[in-house]
Chain A
Amino acid sequence: MRVALIGNQNSGKTTLFNLLTGTNQKIGNWPGVTIEKKIGIIRGTDFEIVDLPGVYSLSPYSVEEEISRRFLFEEKIDLILNIVDSTSMERSLYLTTQLLELGIPMMIALNMKDIADKRGIHIDLKTLEEKLDTTILSISALKKTNVFNLIQYIKMGDYRKNNYQHIYDHELEDAIESIKPIVNTKHSRFLAVKLIEDDMVFTAYHTDETRKIVSALSKDYLRDMEQVIADERYRYIENIRDEAVTANRSQMTWTDKIDNVLLHRFFAIPIFMVIMFGIYYLAAGPIGSYTTQVVGEYMSMFSDWTRGLLIDFGASSWSVSLVVDGMIAGVGAILSFLPQLAILFLLISLLETTGYMSRIAFFLDRIFQKVGLSGKSLIPFIIGSGCSIPAIMSARTINDETEKRMTIMLTPFIPCSAKLPIITLFAGYFFRNNSGLVSASLYFFAIGVIFLSALIMKKFWFKGKHSSFILQLPDYKVPNLKFIIFDVFEKVKAFIQQAGSIILLASIIVWFLISFSWTLNYGIDPNQSILASIGKVLGWIFYPMLGTYSWGAAVSALQGLVAKEQIIASMAIIAGHSETTSEGTLIFGSSVFSFFTPASAYAFMVFNLFSAPCFGSIGAMNKELGSTRRMWQAVLFQTGIAWVLAVIVYQIGHLIEVIL
């Protein structure tokens, strides 16, 4: 048996899905968290349940909504579990009336009843049940009330087998009845309505007969049939509402009070900037750097200890070098950033679950509109400060094709968590006392780059046309601590896994390339190694932003394609192989990287932050942009912009350094 879980966006579907299946899928408090269908098994049964992206109607507006419509219409489903948001009954029931037309058995889970009660919205379950002829269960997915009963109902099949009532006026109902036998599929009624609406998606189902019926109908109504149907649906819902729902909704809600401050005419944007600055300052600034330093010290202790241990065992010098200078140096350089990343993940998770994110989209829409983006682009941008891959995917919720494509191409500009090690390392060393400020400056730099690129794209690639912005503003919610901890833990785990697999492998390869010459001689001068010769070929690309030919910087930057944090791992391995010239951190104290000045350091950061993202993100771009040509366009555009900016930064910075 297969159950489909469906409801409006942000109605708590995934929270319920997690409860029903005992899994931990990602939840958030903004419309469009779920962008792909997810399958699970209901606890204590062998029933399959499918969590579908939220929709407001079965006429999809964006990609992820189309996934839901297609699934419901084309797949075999035994039961629809429709989750209805008690706090906005009318809009929820609008979807319900369409779902009932599919002719699939259905149950309703009335969610957030507790919040509705608090707001003075009273829902008469019995009347509602009778009116819709559907079994309704009041639950709270957040507080887990009545979920067990829900499972029992599903398990026993103990729900009303709804006989759908007439909801339209006689003329419409007659037309539907006469179309039904002509189309004759398992969703006849649904299809009949769609044909009357003249929905583009279903044009193929039209026959001469149905066309005749529909055109006669529209002659009688003298109005757009789509509108007639929507009006009729809402009229029907209003009738149900009048009988089953009583509301005295006049008092100020908590959400209104908070919004009076956070959406204040003058304070909204300053507050937003302080919040974002705070997040990056905490993660990349002094606190983050301190944790990195502490872990880094333990790492080097561990490294020395391992070296001693291996030598005691009588391991050969190359194998000791492989483990210590290759594997531990590379992976260790990355792992020391872990606490800092955990801070970043935690703060982003908080942003996502409180409901503030939709507000940011709301009040920044005006600015984004000017450069051809939508306020909704901001959601991928913020998620992108964690990881670009889910961020690029979340751009699906943007319905306008141009805005969506631009957002996908711009999202990798946001410094993701893997770029944080680069920022922390360089900023911490070259801008000691101002490291927090410099780190934060790079995020604002990124925003500047995004605006600039958007303007360029708008000018040359995408013709400007009008687009819309339709977004539901959710209520604020107190974040669920358990979920947040889990979310952070999952991301930390993924980072460690990446360090233990991709970074480890890449580190071994780098170690090999730097330890051997083309003639496979071990124990050579790193400048004679295979790696150096590759780097020397690429060195000229980086000359204008570093002021010198550095093969080490060149090969490391190249490895950013594997993973951005690999740049640091590679630099650590290369530095470990060359002689130390000065005191200080391992990397910048080595002869290979001692040339860095604040100007070239900043320029190198700029290049690595904004150039082509890692392979994972490039793959996500390829998928979401829908064509390899566009993906290449994006990658070349990003790398081009990064190179130009890095060169400008270095040249200006260098000039300042010379003058001072």
Chain B
Amino acid sequence: MKLDSQRFHKGDQTKLSNLRKGQKAKVVFLNAQDKALRRRLLDMGITEGVQIKIKKIAPLGDPIDIELRGYELCLRKYDMSLIDVEVIS
């Protein structure tokens, strides 16, 4: 739970699931081991270098709606924890 309250700043490396609403980050690495999931994330445009913004958070804290490549995508926090990012803002 401690990790949740930690705030990440520009240039920090972290997992996508640790970001707060409104923060932007660049994807650095995709850790997903499950082949089907990994493939789907790639297909949805989560490739290395893409910019992601945390757009909306479900009322119960999970899943989270992110904005990338001009559209919105919902992901569960667990899946987001498999995506390493570099914080932009």
A315-347 Cβ-contact flags toward B at 8 Å (1 or 0): 000000000000000000000000000000000
Chain B residues with CB under 8 Å of A87's CB are 70-71
CA distance A230 to B39 in the complex (A): 9
> Known contacts A234-B50, A468-B79: does B59 contact A263 (CB below 8 Å)?
yes
A227 within 8 A of B: yes
The 9 closest A-B pairs by CB, nearest first: A88-B71, A230-B42, A57-B43, A366-B60, A90-B69, A268-B59, A473-B72, A363-B58, A471-B74
Q: Are A472 and B71 in contact, CB atoms less than 8 angstroms apart?
A: yes
Question: From DSSP, what is the main secondary structure of chain B's interface residues?
Answer: mixed
Chain B residues contacting A469 (CB-CB under 8 Å) are 63, 74-76, 79
Pick from B47, B58, B73: contact of A470, CB under 8 Å: B73
- Min Cβ gap B9→A in Å is 22
How many chain A residues touch B (Cβ–Cβ < 8 Å)?
42
Q: Does A143 contact B (CB under 8 A)?
A: no
Q: Mark A249-282, 1 if CB is under 8 A from B, else 0.
A: 1000000000100011110110000000000000
Residues of B in contact (CB 8 Å), total 36
Are B70 and A247 within 8 A (Cβ)?
A: yes
Q: Which residues of A contact B22 (CB under 8 A)?
A: none
Interface residues of B, Cβ cutoff 8 Å to A: 30, 34-45, 47-50, 56-63, 65, 69-76, 78-79
Q: Are A366 and B63 in contact (CB under 8 A)?
A: yes
Q: Which residues of B contact A91 (CB under 8 A)?
A: 44-45, 69-71
Q: Mark A465-496, 1 if CB is under 8 A from B, else 0.
A: 01011111100000000000000000000000
Q: Apart from A200-B35, A227-B38, A470-B44, what are 10 other A-B pairs with CB-CB below 8 Å?
A: A61-B40, A88-B69, A91-B45, A94-B43, A231-B48, A365-B63, A365-B76, A366-B58, A472-B44, A472-B71
Q: Give A300 to B61 CA distance when docked, in angstroms.
A: 55
Contact B47 A227 (CB under 8 A): yes
- Chain A: CB-nearest residue to B57: A265
Write the nearest CB–CB distance from A377 to chain B, whole angstroms. 14
Question: Which residues of chain A have a CB within 8 Å of any CB of chain B?
Answer: 56-57, 59, 61, 87-91, 94, 121, 200, 224, 226-227, 230-231, 234, 247, 249, 259, 263-266, 268-269, 362-363, 365-367, 369, 375, 399, 466, 468-473
Contacts of A264 in B (CB 8 A): 59
Whether B73 lies near A473 (C-beta < 8 A) is yes
Return chain A residues, CB-CB under 8 Å to B37.
Answer: 468
B70 touches A90 (CB 8 A): yes
Q: In the complex, what residues of B have CB within 8 A of residue A227's CB?
A: 30, 38, 42, 47-48
* Complex contact A362–B74 (CB within 8 A): yes
Taking CB atoms, residues of chain B closer than 8 Å to A259 are 56
> What is the bound-complex CA distance between A57 and B46, given in angstroms?
13
Residue of A nearest to B61 (CB): A366
Q: Which of B56, B62, B73, B76 has the most CB of A within 10 A?
A: B76
Contact of A56 among B38, B44, B57, B74 (CB under 8 A): B44
A247 shortest CB reach to chain B, Å:
7
| 12 A-B residue pairs with CB within 8 Å | A61-B39, A87-B71, A226-B42, A227-B48, A362-B74, A363-B60, A365-B76, A468-B75, A472-B44, A473-B56, A473-B65, A473-B72
Among candidates B47, B57, B70, residue contacting A234 with C-beta atoms closer than 8 Å: B47
What residues of chain A lie closer than 8 Å to B71, measured between beta carbons?
A: 87-88, 91, 472
